[in-house]
Amino acid sequence: MTMRDFAPATSLVDLRFQGHPEYIACYVLHTSRGIALIDPGPSSTLSALEESLRLAGFSFEAVTDVLLTHIHLDHAGATGSIVRDHPDVRVHVHARGARHMVDPTRLLASASRLYGDRMDTLWGEFIAVPTDRVNVLEGGETLALGGRELEVAYTPGHASHHVSYFDPDGGLAFVGDTLGIRIDNRPYVMPVTPPPDIDPARWTESHRKIRAWAPDTLCPTHFGPARPAEAHIDEHEQRLAGWAAGVEEAVATGADAQERARQFALQVQRDIEGVLGKEQAAGYAAGGGLTDSWHGLARYFTKRATKEQQ
Ligand SMILES: [Zn+2]
């Protein structure tokens, strides 16, 4: 539970989700007005986040803004709890995600189908954010945060409501899950493609937008600053294309989905271990939900095929 600085006035907190190090990062921007958090993580790690700030000499009272890349529980779950306890905090989120932050009923129902009775242990509470605390983003905005300016880009692909943030002064791109999982700058980038709204076609445009920023450093939530940015984006784009081609072929030939998902997970796991070794690869598969990633892509290609038939 420590906060570490990795760029001027920019830190990260390892939330140690379920006791695992290097699993979920919350990025912390120090501004002239206080602190902005990029993806505060789930409620289950909120006390760890508060404690980390406190140990580094900051009070949670200093938090002015919460910037969400997207509303998946591991990124955004604590937001409502933070606003309840600190009613002045502003929440920035894409328009397609904003309504679920204001009324999380549907979001929680779909998450409950996935996680069942583990919902509470894994994520903790997810409470609504009052409408008047939400700044709705479309992409293309510049956010003024106490002497710092952050550019916003709409970057769908992993989620239909995903945005990324760019700090031009530091050359830092906060990309959420748009550029996959890469733990501690290890030489392996793994896409994350779970249901329900994976879209490889729109993802291409998101890669292009992030490249156009020419960032020095990428800041994926899972986990930690990654460099050089261009090679990381290339690797993500190529690996995603390879995954998509395999799943598209399986869907077209009517292969057994469960079996293909299982084979895919084993194959990716072997691939990562081949590059990183067993020990360094462990965190990737644990966080990756590889069979989910197969199903996320399969859902896209199945939907597209159904549309084409109509
Ligand atoms: Zn996500």
pLDDT tens-digit map of 50-59? 999 999 999 9
Residues, Cβ < 5 Å to ion ligand 1: 72, 177
Alpha-carbon distance 221 to 234, whole Å? 18
pLDDT for res 287: 62
pLDDT for res 2: 82
Average pLDDT over residues 124-146: 97
pLDDT in tens, 138-180: 999 999 999 999 999 999 999 999 999 999 999 999 999 999 9
C-beta of residue 68 within 8 angstroms of C-beta of residue 42: no
Residue 31, pLDDT above cutoff 90: yes
- Measured in angstroms, how far is the CA atom of residue 310 from the centroid of ligand 1? 31
Domains of the chain: 3-237 (3.60.15.10)
44: Cβ contacts below 8 Å, ≥ 6 apart: 17, 18, 77, 121, 122, 123, 124
Q: What is the H or E stretch that residue 37 is in?
A: strand 35-38
Average pLDDT over residues 275-302: 91
Residue 288, pLDDT above cutoff 80: no
- Measured in angstroms, how far is the CA atom of residue 249 from the centroid of ligand 1? 25
C-beta of residue 182 within 8 angstroms of C-beta of residue 55: no
Q: Give me the chain's average pLDDT, please.
A: 95
Q: Give rounded-to-5 percent helix, strand, coil for the chain.
A: 50, 20, 30
pLDDT for res 51: 96
- Measured in angstroms, how far is the CA atom of residue 72 from the centroid of ligand 1? 5
Residue 1, pLDDT above cutoff 60: no
Alpha-carbon distance 130 to 134, whole Å? 7
Residue 92, pLDDT above cutoff 70: yes
C-beta of residue 196 within 8 angstroms of C-beta of residue 110: yes
pLDDT for res 310: 76
User: Taking Cα atoms as reference points, which of 97, 110, 101, 109 lies closest to residue 83?
Assistant: 101
Beta strands in 141-294 (DSSP E): 142-145, 148-154, 163-167, 172-176, 217-220
Residue 228: helix, strand or coil by DSSP? Answer: coil
